[in-house]
Amino acid sequence: MSRLYDPTKARRHWIYSRESVCHLYSVCDSTITNWIKQGLQPVDDGRPQLFSGYELRRFITATRWKGGRAPENGCVFCHFCLGFKPLMKGTLGTRAAAPACIEVTGKCIDCHSMLQTRVPDRSLPEIIEASANTPEDSSDVCDRLVSWRPARNGGSIPAESNSGNLRRLYSYIAYLQDHENLDIRTVDEHLRSISRMSAFLGHKPYRKVTIDDACRFKKELRACRDREDGTGLSSSTASHTLDRCRAFFTWLGRQAGVALAPDLAGYFSLSRREAATAAGMARETKLTFDQALCIFKGMEGDHPADLRNRAIIAMLIVTGIRATALITLRGKHVNLPTRWINQDPRQVNTKNSKHIRTYLLDLGSGLLDTIREWADWRRANGFGEDAPFFLPDRYLQPNALGLGYKRSDEEPPEGWRSEDTVNRIIKEAASAAGFPPEDIASHDFRKCLHPFLAKRGCMNVVEEVALQLNLGHTPVEVTRKHYAVMPDNEREEILDELCARALASRSELDLYLAFERGEIAESDPDFERAQTVYLRNNPGKVRAH
C-alpha cells in the first residue's frame, strides 16, 4: 500500500459509501475491490456498499505498518484513538515472531480494539509494566462511559459496530448534512454522542431502544457528570449528548418501518431544573486584565514562533476571540488597516456557526503593534490570504530559502486541528510570568475583558452592547434591542472611547473638574475627552477662565 494513504483521514465514527471512500483517498473503484480482497470488511452485504470509519482506519494502518508501529513508553499505537495506549491487563498476549523479536497483541485500554505489534524482546518488560495498572475487565472501562485516560472531545468513545445501526447512521449523516446544513465537525459531534449511548447499551439495535434504556443512560450521564475525581463528564457534555440523542430518535421515529415508543425522544432530556442550573453555571476566572498584560509582556524570544506566540496572546487580549475560531482564522479574515476581523462561519469555527464581526480594541501596551509585526512577517515570507493567520511550527523552520517555507506548487498551508497548541502556549507563557498555568485557559482572556472595561471605563449601556456584539453575543434585553444593528463605524467610535477612558489615569470626575476650572491645557492628551465629558453634562456651557 502506498505510504500516502493516511488512516486518520477516515473519521472513526462515520460511515462511508464506496464512492466516498474513492473520493476520500483519491483512488479508483478497482482499488476498493482490491482492498476488500486484502481484508477490508464492508458493513454488510447490502447496497449501497458501506464501510465504517474505524474499519477503514484498522485496514489502512494494518496494511501500511504490517509489523505495527514502534511502541512508546510501553504503550502501543492505536489507530482508532490516534495515540499510544497501554494494553488492557488480561488481554496481553505474546509469541515469538523472529529471532530477538516478539509479536504482542492486546486490547486498547480506551476503545478495546485488538492491537498487534512486533517489538524487540528488550521492549517487552516495558509493555507489561504499562499494562499492569489497567483494569482487567473491559466492563471496568465501558460501563463508566469514560476511559482510563479520558481524551479531549470524547476520542475514547467506542465506535458503533452493529451493522443495522451503521446503515441507520449513514442515512442520518445525509439528513444532517443535506437537510440541517450542518458542517462536518458538528455532524461528527452528533455521531460521537450517539456512539456513546450505543456503547452503553451494548450496541443494541436502535429500533429496540426503550424508555427504560433512555432513563438508564441518562442516570449514568448524571453519575459521570457528578464525579469529582477529574475523570467525569462536564455538565455541557452531558447536556449536549442527551440533546443529540433526542434529535436522533426524533428523526428515527419518522422513518418508515420504525416503531418506537411515542415519547422515547423526550426522555433524552434533563429536567428543567438541571437545564437551568447547567445554563447558569460559568467557571469563574482568576485572571485579571493586568495579569493578562503581565503574561504578554513576559514573553520573549526572536524566533518566528516566539513572535507568533506573542501575537496569539495579544489577539486573545484585544478581541476575546475563542480559541477554536482563532486557529481557523486565515489571512483574508484579518484586516489590520481597519482593525476588523470577519469571522465567517463558512470558514471560521465560530460558536453556533454565528457570523461575528470583531473590532481589535486599542488597549495599548504594544498589543496591536505585535499583531501587525506578526502579519508583516507572514506576508514577507510568502504566506497569503488563504494561509492560516497563525501558522503551525512546521511552517516556521529555517531552510535554504529563508524562514517561512512554502513551495508554489503546494496547496495553502494547513492550520492546527485543535486548540491544544494554543492552550499549551498560554500555559507556558503563564508559567514564565509566574502564574499557576492550571488556572489560566484561553477563555479567561475573554472573561477578564468585560470587568476591566466596565470598572475602569465606567461602561454605559451603549458601550456594553457594542462590546457584547464584539464578543459575538446577542443582547436580548428589551431596552437594548435597538442597539443590535449598530453600524460598524459607530461601534468603532464607541469602543475607542471606552478603551481610552479605561486606560486613562484620570477619572471622568477629575477631567470634568479640571475642564470646568480651566486647569487642563489644550496640549494635554486628555483635553478633548475632558471637553466631551464637560459638554455632555453641561450642554451649551463654556469653560471658566
Q: Quick check: 98 and 49 in contact, CB under 8 A? A: no
| Eight-state DSSP code of residue 269 | S
**CB neighbourhood size of 380 (10 A):** 11
Share of the chain above pLDDT 90, in %: 13
Range in 36-40, 265-269, 539-543 the model is least confident about: 539-543
Name the residue with higher pLDDT: 368 or 479: 368
d(CA 236, CA 238): 6
Average pLDDT over residues 255-283: 76
Q: Quick check: 154 and 244 in contact, CB under 8 A? A: no
Sign of CA dihedral 334, 340, 341, 344: negative
**Mind giving me the DSSP string for 205-256?**
-GGG--HHHHHHHHHHHHHHHT--SS-S--HHHHHHHHHHHHHHHHHHTTST
Burial 217-238 (b: 16+ CB within 10 A, else e): bbebbbebbeeeeeebbebebb
Model confidence band, residue 282 (pLDDT cutoffs 50, 70, 90) = low
Q: Quick check: 498 and 458 in contact, CB under 8 A? A: no
pLDDT tens-digit readout, 2-43: 556 777 788 888 899 989 889 888 889 899 899 988 888 888
Average pLDDT over residues 151-165: 67
Task: Kindly calculate the radius of gyration of the chain based on its CA atoms and give it in whole angstroms.
Answer: 28
What's the pLDDT score for residue 437? Answer: 81
Instruction: Report the predicted TM-score, pTM, of the whole model to 2 decimal places.
Output: 0.53
Would the pLDDT of 372 be above 60?
A: yes
What's the pLDDT score for residue 3? Answer: 53
Average pLDDT over residues 161-168: 87
- The listed range with the strongest mean pLDDT (80-89, 132-141, 285-294, 308-317) is 308-317
Average pLDDT over residues 345-374: 88
d(CA 395, CA 305): 10
What values do phi and psi take at 233, rounded to 5? -100, 150
What's the pLDDT score for residue 135? Answer: 44
Name the residue with higher pLDDT: 65 or 19: 19
Average pLDDT over residues 486-491: 76
Range in 80-84, 163-167, 349-353, 470-474 the model is least confident about: 80-84
What's the pLDDT score for residue 245? Answer: 92
Name the residue with higher pLDDT: 3 or 255: 255
The residues, any chain, with a CB within 8 Å of residue 188's CB and separated by 6 or more, are 11, 13, 14
d(CA 128, CA 116): 14
Model confidence band, residue 154 (pLDDT cutoffs 50, 70, 90) = very low
Burial 118-130 (b: 16+ CB within 10 A, else e): bbeeebbeebeeb
